[in-house]
Every structure is written in C-alpha cells, then in structure tokens.
Amino acid sequence: MALTKLSNSGQVAIPSKIREWLNLQPGDSIDFVIGEDGKVYLQPAKIDARELSGMLYEPGRKTVSLEEMDTAISQCAGESI
C-alpha cells in the first residue's frame, strides 16, 4: 500500500510506485473518479489509444456492420441525450 499525507493547501504527493504504475510524468493531468461503489479512483487523463483495444468487447455480443452503425446514427441525429 502507498500512503501519503494531505497538505494544508489540499495537495498530496503521489508515491513513486503509483506514478511508475500509471506512467505519470511531471505536468500530466490526472482524473479523480467517484465510482458507483463510493470509492475514489485516480487515473491518468491521457491514455495511449492502443490501451483502448478490446475495451468494449463482450463475449456473445452481436457485431454490427458499418451500415447498421450509419443507420443508427442517422436515426438519432439531432436527438439530445
């Protein structure tokens, strides 16, 4: 476990072990995310696109063609979320 202390100005030093694991460099931006479980997660704001490979894969999910994607996009065009 990597432990650090909060300064009077609300700053923390990220332990070297964590910086290395996340490949953080001086000047990098960091996101703090509150998960559904109530825990706070720290992640680099920049991600190499190669790390996204397979991110949306779900076994058994039906694949869709480019035409099906285009149709879905055109049907929802102009709708706000």
pLDDT of 2-24, one tens digit each?
A: 889 999 999 999 999 999 988 89
CA–CA dist 43, 34 (Å, integer): 11
Residue 75: what pLDDT?
87
Residue 45: what pLDDT?
87
Q: In one letter, which amino acid is 2?
A: A
Residues in the chain: 81
pLDDT tens, position by position, 19-78: 998 889 898 889 999 989 999 998 888 777 777 788 788 889 888 899 999 998 888 876
Cβ–Cβ under 8 Å, residues 4 and 15: yes
Residue 2: what pLDDT?
84
CA–CA dist 13, 50 (Å, integer): 28
Residue 78: what pLDDT?
66
